[in-house]
Amino acid sequence: MKKVTRWSPDTCECVIDYEWDDEEPVETREITVKTIIKKCPVHARRGKASCFNEVLSENRRKNQAIGFLQEEIPDLVSQAEGVPPKADTVWHFDKERNLQVHVIGTEIDALAKSRAQSKCDHSFGQGKVHID
């Protein structure tokens, strides 16, 4: 059955309604933009499909980059249910929409940082994510 979800991503101020079919397996499910409710200043000049694709891409990049860091830095992951992680990330997109990620609350091992950065470079291209 077709469903519509209103999405307010944490990567910008856009608000988007997208459609998806709950009878399709998650692995093969397609999501399609239905309506752009609000465009943020960064995406204001984009058409409907372009706006949705760019917002989705930026959001996935942020989520995957943080996931790569969590794989390399155990302090970013809770070690027990109900116990918050010892460290966290803060992030922002620069004016070219490159993702800047900072780890707070723990020292970053140079090798772990290098491995996470390498995963980001391989997945998104050099310069699209910067970890410090």
The dihedral over CA atoms of 128, 43, 13, 5, expressed in degrees to the nearest 10, equals -100
Q: For position 9, what pLDDT does the model report? A: 97
**pTM here?**
0.90
Q: For position 78, what pLDDT does the model report? A: 85
Cα of first residue to Cα of last residue in the chain, in angstroms, is 44
Sites in the chain below the pLDDT cut of 50: none
Q: For position 107, what pLDDT does the model report? A: 86
Q: For position 14, what pLDDT does the model report? A: 98
Instruction: Tally the C-alpha atoms within 13 A of residue 22's C-alpha that lie toward its C-beta.
Output: 5
Residue 120 belongs to what domain range? 2-131
Cα separations (Å) of 119 from 48, 72, 80, 105, 124? 30, 10, 26, 22, 8
How many domains does the chain fold into?
1
Q: What is the pLDDT of residues 28-61, one digit of tens each?
A: 999 999 999 999 999 999 999 999 999 999 999 9
3-state secondary structure of 129: strand
Report how far residue 93's alpha carbon sits from residue 24's, in angstroms, rounded to the nearest whole number. Answer: 33
Q: For position 70, what pLDDT does the model report? A: 94
Contact 39, 60 (CB under 8 A): no
Q: For position 98, what pLDDT does the model report? A: 97
Contact 98, 127 (CB under 8 A): yes
Contact 24, 13 (CB under 8 A): no
Q: For position 34, what pLDDT does the model report? A: 96
